Amino acid sequence: MSDAPQTGKADAAEIEFLRAELLTGLTLTKIAREAKYEDKRERNRLNARKAYDSILRFMPKTDMGNEELNDITSRLEQLRSELRLLGEQV
Protein backbone atom coordinates (compact mmCIF):
# COMPACT_ATOMS: atom_id res chain seq x y z
CA MET A 1 0.00 0.00 0.00
CA SER A 2 1.30 3.44 -0.92
CA ASP A 3 1.63 6.41 1.43
CA ALA A 4 1.08 8.85 -1.44
CA PRO A 5 -1.99 11.08 -1.11
CA GLN A 6 -4.91 9.77 -3.06
CA THR A 7 -6.75 11.99 -5.45
CA GLY A 8 -9.86 10.92 -7.21
CA LYS A 9 -13.59 11.33 -7.28
CA ALA A 10 -13.81 13.02 -3.89
CA ASP A 11 -11.37 15.72 -4.98
CA ALA A 12 -13.12 16.11 -8.33
CA ALA A 13 -16.46 16.43 -6.55
CA GLU A 14 -15.05 19.06 -4.19
CA ILE A 15 -13.65 21.06 -7.10
CA GLU A 16 -16.96 20.84 -8.95
CA PHE A 17 -18.72 22.03 -5.79
CA LEU A 18 -16.47 25.10 -5.66
CA ARG A 19 -17.08 25.79 -9.35
CA ALA A 20 -20.83 25.44 -8.88
CA GLU A 21 -20.78 27.84 -5.92
CA LEU A 22 -18.76 30.33 -7.98
CA LEU A 23 -21.18 30.13 -10.89
CA THR A 24 -24.14 30.47 -8.52
CA GLY A 25 -22.60 33.44 -6.73
CA LEU A 26 -21.74 35.23 -9.97
CA THR A 27 -25.20 34.56 -11.38
CA LEU A 28 -26.85 35.91 -8.22
CA THR A 29 -24.72 39.08 -8.26
CA LYS A 30 -25.79 39.68 -11.87
CA ILE A 31 -29.45 39.22 -10.93
CA ALA A 32 -29.00 41.55 -7.95
CA ARG A 33 -27.38 44.25 -10.11
CA GLU A 34 -30.20 44.09 -12.63
CA ALA A 35 -33.05 43.86 -10.11
CA LYS A 36 -35.66 46.61 -10.23
CA TYR A 37 -36.90 45.98 -6.71
CA GLU A 38 -34.81 46.38 -3.58
CA ASP A 39 -36.07 43.17 -1.94
CA LYS A 40 -34.99 41.10 -4.95
CA ARG A 41 -31.65 42.86 -5.04
CA GLU A 42 -31.10 42.28 -1.32
CA ARG A 43 -32.14 38.62 -1.40
CA ASN A 44 -29.82 37.82 -4.30
CA ARG A 45 -26.95 39.81 -2.79
CA LEU A 46 -27.28 37.86 0.47
CA ASN A 47 -27.42 34.52 -1.33
CA ALA A 48 -24.37 35.45 -3.42
CA ARG A 49 -22.56 36.29 -0.19
CA LYS A 50 -23.48 32.87 1.21
CA ALA A 51 -21.94 31.24 -1.88
CA TYR A 52 -18.80 33.36 -1.41
CA ASP A 53 -18.52 32.41 2.27
CA SER A 54 -19.05 28.74 1.41
CA ILE A 55 -16.20 28.86 -1.11
CA LEU A 56 -13.90 30.45 1.45
CA ARG A 57 -14.80 27.75 3.98
CA PHE A 58 -14.27 24.76 1.68
CA MET A 59 -11.47 25.96 -0.61
CA PRO A 60 -8.63 25.36 1.91
CA LYS A 61 -9.85 21.78 2.44
CA THR A 62 -9.78 20.95 -1.27
CA ASP A 63 -6.72 19.39 -2.85
CA MET A 64 -6.31 20.82 -6.34
CA GLY A 65 -3.63 21.41 -8.93
CA ASN A 66 -2.22 24.81 -9.87
CA GLU A 67 -4.43 25.19 -12.94
CA GLU A 68 -7.60 24.51 -10.96
CA LEU A 69 -6.43 26.72 -8.11
CA ASN A 70 -5.68 29.60 -10.49
CA ASP A 71 -9.06 29.26 -12.20
CA ILE A 72 -11.01 29.16 -8.95
CA THR A 73 -8.97 31.97 -7.39
CA SER A 74 -9.52 34.16 -10.45
CA ARG A 75 -13.27 33.61 -10.42
CA LEU A 76 -13.36 34.10 -6.66
CA GLU A 77 -11.75 37.51 -7.14
CA GLN A 78 -14.40 38.31 -9.75
CA LEU A 79 -17.15 37.32 -7.28
CA ARG A 80 -15.49 39.40 -4.55
CA SER A 81 -15.44 42.41 -6.88
CA GLU A 82 -19.10 41.95 -7.81
CA LEU A 83 -20.08 41.70 -4.14
CA ARG A 84 -18.20 44.90 -3.37
CA LEU A 85 -20.11 46.66 -6.15
CA LEU A 86 -23.28 45.56 -4.36
CA GLY A 87 -22.08 47.03 -1.07
CA GLU A 88 -20.71 43.90 0.62
CA GLN A 89 -17.66 44.25 2.87
CA VAL A 90 -15.49 41.39 1.59
Are 70 and 18 in contact, with CB atoms under 8 Å apart?
A: no
| pLDDT tens for each residue of the chain, 90 residues long | 444 455 556 689 999 999 999 999 999 999 999 999 999 999 999 999 999 999 999 999 999 999 999 999 999 999 999 999 999 999
In a domain, residue 15? The reply is no
Domain containing 42: what range? 23-85
- Cα(64)–Cα(73) distance, integer angstroms: 12
Distance of CA 29 to the CA centre of its chain: 12
**Residue 35 belongs to a domain:** yes
In a domain, 10, yes or no: no
Structural domain contains residue 68: yes
Q: Would residue 60 count as lying in a domain?
A: yes
Q: Is residue 40 part of a domain?
A: yes
Closest CA relative to residue 20, chosen from 57, 54, 60: 54
Q: Which of 27, 90, 54 is nearest to 35 (CA)?
A: 27
In a domain, 43, yes or no: yes
- Please indicate, yes or no, whether the overall pTM of this predicted structure exceeds 0.85: yes
Domain count, the chain: 1
Query: Which positions ≥6 away from 62 have C-beta within 8 Å?
Result: 11, 14, 15, 18
